[in-house]
Amino acid sequence: MRRAGTALLAAVASIAALSGTPARAGADPARADAYPARPASQARTPQACSGERPVVCHFDVAPGTYDVTVVLGGGTAGSTTVTAEARRTVLAETATDAGERVRRGFTVDVREPEGEPTGPAGSPGLDLYFGGPAPRLHSVRVTPARHGPALFLAGDSTVCDQPAEPYSGWGQQLPQFLKRGLAVANHADSGESSASFQADPALFPAMYERVRRGDLVLLQFGHNDKRTTAEEYRANLTGLVRRVRDKGARPVLVTPVVRRWFNADGTLDNGTALHVNGLGVDLPAEQRALATELGVPLIDLTELTRRLVERYGPEASKALYLYDEKRDNTHTSVTGATEFARLVVAELRARELVPERLLR
């Protein structure tokens, strides 16, 4: 399902004229039936584009991996952010001067369901949203991606493609840091532990079918392993690592992001915040030891997020989580998820797990 096959060879839409008005997609020129039939090898239009902020473009494509090229800009200055499918940020806010054209590319994983694997199906095909303070969209082109590696994510609600604001998982913000040629296939799901993720056919078994040789698979579990023994935790993670390796893919262990629980001295609590579970198991410590034992790369996101959250401090760190909105010290805002994704990307770069040419 990950590759597009031959169902659709290309899709192109020209959206905005060179004018002083904001970019918007008119109804008539965006209708697929407004154009004569063409050979499959030639460009075709998306099914529909509409709106002003955001401009929404829908492509009637089958599940698979697609390369997207957008040209941003218009007759007046603008600032455009691009999201895809289930609120995934694929292009950070990009400024354009009046009359300027900026070309950007990214790769999108189109799947069903389009967000969390156990969540609602979402809309079929590919949906792109051009938002931001002043979106300026000139054109967008979608083509089936060439065979190449994918970056798979397995994890819990702090990683997943959250369906509704104000929630956001760091995996939902990761695509904006990648260039065309590497898609993020986020199979993380809310509430999952290192055991439950493997037991549900919609989760690891479904992801496993898509994993190919050379793919990178990031594994973050711990938030929901509240009563998991050290032996069970290590066995669960070992099983995941070995099965990924059986596919010729590259597993990476990722320790869980911290919870926002502060001590009086401004440091994070050594228990709840740093994932010492109800049985007294220091889950990140178990992962660190296991990574050494198995010879698998480790991204110590617990330590990285601890440093970041403590640097923000008890008050400013509220903006990283949903404290103000939900009194939630576990789940992240778009701001927090973006900062945590930035930490992951820095580790991918430093450890040369992803080629520099594929990173922004």
* Cβ 347 vs Cβ 299: under 8 Å: yes
Residue 145 has pLDDT above 80, yes or no: yes
Q: Is residue 267 pLDDT above 90, yes or no?
A: yes
**Which of 180, 187, 179, 128 is CA-nearest to residue 154?**
187
pLDDT tens track for 236-266: 999 999 999 999 999 999 999 999 999 999 9
3-state helix, strand, coil in the chain (%, to 5): 30, 25, 45
With a cut of 70, say whether residue 225 has pLDDT above it.
yes
* Mean per-residue pLDDT of the chain: 89
pLDDT-derived band at 1 (thresholds 50, 70, 90) equals very low
**Entry pTM:** 0.89
The tokens describing 7, both together, are 């169902």
How far apart (Å, rounded) are the C-alpha atoms in residues 192 and 269?
23
User: Given this model, what pLDDT does residue 49 score?
Assistant: 81
At 43, is the pLDDT very low, low, confident or very high (cuts 50, 70, 90)? very low
pLDDT tier at 12, thresholds 50, 70, 90: low
pLDDT of residue 211: 98
pLDDT in tens, 69-127: 999 999 999 999 999 999 999 999 999 999 999 999 999 999 999 999 999 999 999 99
Does the pLDDT of residue 40 top 90, yes or no? no
Q: What is the pLDDT of residue 42?
A: 31
Return the domain boundaries, the chain.
Answer: 11-31+42-144, 150-358
- So what's the pLDDT on residue 342? 98
The confidence score (pLDDT) of residue 201 equals 98
Percent of the chain with pLDDT over 70: 87
pLDDT at residue 27, rounded to an integer: 30
Q: What percent of the chain has pLDDT over 90?
A: 85
Region 150-358: CATH code: 3.40.50.1110
Residues in the chain: 360
3-state secondary structure 62-111: CCEEEEEEEEECCCCCEEEEEEECCCEEEEEEEEECCCCCEEEEEEEEEC
For 338, the token pair is: 């973006």
CA 216 – CA 244 distance, rounded (Å): 9
DSSP 119: S
Instruction: State the pLDDT at residue 148.
Output: 84
> Which of 22-36, 61-75, 129-143 is least confident?
22-36
pLDDT tens digits, 147-200: 789 999 999 999 999 999 999 999 999 999 999 999 999 999 999 999 999 999
- Return the CATH number of the domain spanning residue range 11-31+42-144: 2.60.120
**d(C-alpha 106, C-alpha 114), whole Å:** 17
